[in-house]
């Protein structure tokens, strides 16, 4: 079996020698290039399982190479070496499609973990999540787009923020990203940020040392450290208090954590996914969520559609839910009458898939004769039809452009169009877009529209 091959791009001979020696000890074949042009020539002619590039090159920079690889060799994961503290460059690289980043001075332990994960991604033969694992049900266009996005972000280590209404399945999407990626053999640790008491949050997330406070009778590993080698999923991240947002920012930026009562920081190897049903950009504009943390965890943004946007999926969803419920109860699944199915499809489901499951579980207990009728479907009254949520715009998954760039292009186009329609009156444009003036001003600044 041939060795996996890594291309190392840097104009510093000492660093090239150090990285080559480290990877050779991992039984990997290495090739080196001192500039952008040489790297592109090698990538055109040689097969590589990973490209590791410095950000500063004599004839360009690492971002140029990341973009070139995404367009010409998208199957090759690329990681960047950044200057210490230069997180802005790392975030830009991740938005362009980089697998991950490592900071100078190189921590060889961190480097080995990064390379191991990237090589594992390239050698996986299962094509993503196992067939017996979690899956998204539905054949609608919005679900097809969502699956495409999951497949693409699973090839990266970039932080992903998942948003959507309550009950749409945000945690399922996070699990699929984990199961489809290089960290699938590691743990998936889900944390509900709104369920941990504020006074216990730091200890629960980061752990503590024995004697650090009253009741700390032994060392305790935090939830962050429990996700080592895997994925940390922060559900309802908008509920994090501001003082914890500061501490989480350091985990995201430096990949280190300090347990309560510990003098030294520990390095952690985790991927962070987050989710909320709230508008984080709005919370940033209101000063209730840190802008710098929002920028870090929102490298890639993914929206989960509501059930009313994909009502054509309800029959398939209902069948799968009933099959699961009946398997647990050890009974034969009933059939759903056409009238009952029509009632389900016509209902807007403000509680989304979670509400559909509750409705079907209730109907299962009420039905008789192996048939769920319209009388068994108990739907709560909805005062008025819920507004149709905006449908996701199909992303170009063939061009090789970074996900972050594609999403930003969509947002930029919408804002520019609103500004043009209102003759660049930002107050009127914000009203047209359904956001506050402060939120619009923040987005204009971030997207560089001015």
| Residue-range domain boundaries for the chain | 5-123, 141-303, 308-376, 403-447
Taking only the tens place, the pLDDT of each residue in 176-206 is 999 999 899 999 999 999 899 888 899 999 9
**Rounded CA gap, 286 and 419, in Å?**
22
Range 308-376: architecture per CATH: Orthogonal Bundle (1.10)
Alpha helices in 169-290 (DSSP H): 170-180, 198-206, 223-226, 242-254, 280-285
**Rounded CA gap, 370 and 325, in Å?**
14
* CB-based contact 105:82 (threshold 8 Å): no
- Looking at residues 433-449, what average pLDDT do you find? 78
Residue whose pair of structure tokens reads 């204009």 in the numeric block: 444
Q: Coil, strand or helix: which one is 41?
A: helix
**Rounded CA gap, 192 and 196, in Å?**
7
* CB-based contact 329:303 (threshold 8 Å): no
Task: Give residue 37's pLDDT.
Answer: 94
Name the nearest CA neighbour of 136 among 361, 353, 406: 353
Name the nearest CA neighbour of 157 among 207, 123, 116: 116
Does domain 141-303 fall under CATH 3.40.50.300? My reply is yes
- Same fold: 5-123 with 141-303: yes
Does domain 403-447 fall under CATH 2.40.50.140? My reply is no
The DSSP output letter for 393 is P
Task: Give residue 432's pLDDT.
Answer: 79
pTM confidence score? 0.76
Taking only the tens place, the pLDDT of each residue in 97-140 is 899 998 888 889 889 989 998 888 765 544 444 444 568 999 99
**Rounded CA gap, 404 and 158, in Å?**
10
Taking only the tens place, the pLDDT of each residue in 248-273 is 998 988 888 988 888 888 889 999 99
**Rounded CA gap, 207 and 59, in Å?**
46
- CATH superfamily ID and name for 5-123: Response regulator (3.40.50.2300)
**Rounded CA gap, 12 and 14, in Å?**
6
Taking only the tens place, the pLDDT of each residue in 327-359 is 988 889 999 999 999 999 999 999 999 999 999
């Amino acid at each position: 079996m041939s060795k996996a091959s890594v291309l190392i791009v840097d104009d510093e001979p000492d660093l090239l020698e150090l990285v080559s020696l480290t990877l050779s000890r991992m039984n990997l074949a290495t090739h080196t290039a001192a500039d952008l042009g040489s790297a592109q020539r090698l990538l055109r002619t040689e097969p590589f399982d990973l490209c590791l590039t410095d950000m500063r090159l004599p004839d360009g920079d690492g971002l140029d190479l990341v973009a070139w690889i995404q367009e010409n060799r998208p199957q090759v994961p690329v990681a960047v070496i950044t200057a210490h503290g230069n997180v802005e460059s790392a975030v830009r690289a991740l938005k362009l499609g980089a697998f991950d980043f490592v900071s100078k001075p190189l921590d060889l332990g961190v480097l080995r973990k990064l390379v191991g994960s990237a090589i594992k991604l390239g050698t996986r033969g299962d094509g993503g999540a196992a067939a017996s694992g979690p899956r998204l049900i539905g054949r609608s266009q919005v679900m097809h787009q969502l699956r495409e996005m999951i497949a693409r972000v699973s090839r990266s280590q970039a932080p992903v923020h998942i948003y959507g209404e309550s009950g749409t399945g945000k945690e399922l999407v996070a699990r699929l990203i984990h199961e489809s990626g290089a960290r699938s053999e590691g743990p998936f640790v889900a944390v509900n940020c709104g369920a941990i008491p504020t006074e216990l949050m730091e200890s629960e997330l980061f752990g503590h040392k024995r004697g650090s406070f009253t009741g700390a009778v032994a060392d305790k590993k935090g939830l962050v450290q429990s996700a080592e080698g895997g994925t940390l999923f922060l559900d309802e991240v908008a509920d994090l208090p501001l003082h914890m947002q500061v501490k989480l920012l350091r985990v995201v930026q430096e990949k280190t954590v300090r347990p309560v009562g510990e003098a030294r920081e520990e390095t952690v190897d985790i991927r962070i996914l987050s989710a909320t049903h709230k508008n984080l950009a709005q919370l940033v504009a209101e000063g209730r969520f840190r802008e710098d943390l929002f920028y870090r965890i929102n490298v890639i943004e993914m929206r989960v559609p509501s059930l009313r946007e994909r009502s054509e999926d309800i029959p398939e969803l209902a069948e799968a839910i009933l099959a699961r419920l009946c398997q647990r109860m050890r009974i034969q699944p009933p059939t759903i009458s056409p009238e009952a199915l029509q009632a389900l499809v016509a209902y807007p489901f403000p509680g989304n898939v979670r509400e559909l499951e509750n409705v079907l579980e209730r109907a299962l207990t009420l039905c008789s004769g192996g048939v769920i009728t319209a009388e068994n479907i108990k739907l709560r009254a909805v005062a008025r039809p819920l507004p149709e949520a905006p449908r996701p715009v199909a992303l170009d998954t063939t061009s090789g452009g970074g996900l972050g760039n594609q999403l930003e292009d969509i947002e930029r186009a919408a804002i520019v169009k609103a500004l043009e329609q209102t003759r660049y009156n930002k107050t009127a444009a914000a009203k047209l877009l359904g956001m506050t003036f402060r939120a619009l001003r923040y987005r204009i600044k971030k997207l560089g529209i001015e």
